[in-house]
Amino acid sequence: MLAKKIESYDHLTSFYYNAATDARKQRDNESRIKNLKLALVAVEKSRNPNYFSGYMLAAAVIAYAENYLNQINLNLDKNTKGRNREPYVDALKYLAFAKKEYSRALDYGKEHLEIVNGGNHYEEIKESEEFLAKVYDALGNKEMAYIHFKKYTSIKDSVFNVQRIRALSYYQTLYETEKRDLKIEAQEGDIALLDARNKVKNQWMLFGGLGLLSIFL
């Protein structure tokens, strides 16, 4: 390849990206991902990496996501229903967003939020609210974006407060434990000292008794 021989990385970027596009049309995911990896390496050595790198990274994300989704789709009943529905929809919403298919991303985002709202995993609810805020912002609906962002920040603050309380409780317990252990060590030291004093006292009493006995004898 001439472009590779003369190290023309701008041309190599285009070549590998076009090869990945052809592989996608042929549904050859292995070749698609391989060429996108090569395109990412070439773009970093090109004259303007900042201009193309974001585009190439997005293409790689979509390629990897579609590759794994194809594996999931081999057994839809097992991989997309029941408890597996939530992570499946979560993957679909991010894939749609990466493709800039914002209407589909919104539908998947709403479904995902509905699923996680049925549980008590506040981290997942927080992330789902943040995602919907980004989707509405991309759609130009600033009002709905603000509503979901406000919910996101509210949950974030609540989670932070809970984590802070737990941290304070942990360190308080740790402090009380160390305080108790030091008290026990001090008590054990006092007991050992008393034992030593009693031992010396008993020894003096024994010597004194032997001395008196010798005098009487």
Mean pLDDT by 10 residues, the chain (217 residues): 66 86 86 88 83 80 80 80 88 89 95 88 89 96 95 82 62 69 70 71 65 64
Residue 215 lies in a domain: no
Domain span at residue 24 reads 1-68
CATH number for the domain spanning 34: value is 1.20.58
pLDDT score of 168: 59
pLDDT score of 71: 80
DSSP 8-state class, residue 146: H
Residue 117 lies in a domain: no
Start-to-end C-alpha separation, the chain: 119
Q: Taken in order 175, 180, 185, 189, is the CA torsion positive or negative?
A: positive
Residue 182 lies in a domain: no
pLDDT score of 150: 93
Alpha-helical runs (H) found in the chain:
2-5, 9-25, 29-44, 49-72, 76-79, 85-98, 102-117, 122-139, 142-216
Residue 32 lies in a domain: yes
Taking each helix axis as running N to C, give the angle between helix 9-25 and helix 49-72, from 0 to 180 degrees, rounded to the nearest 10.
20
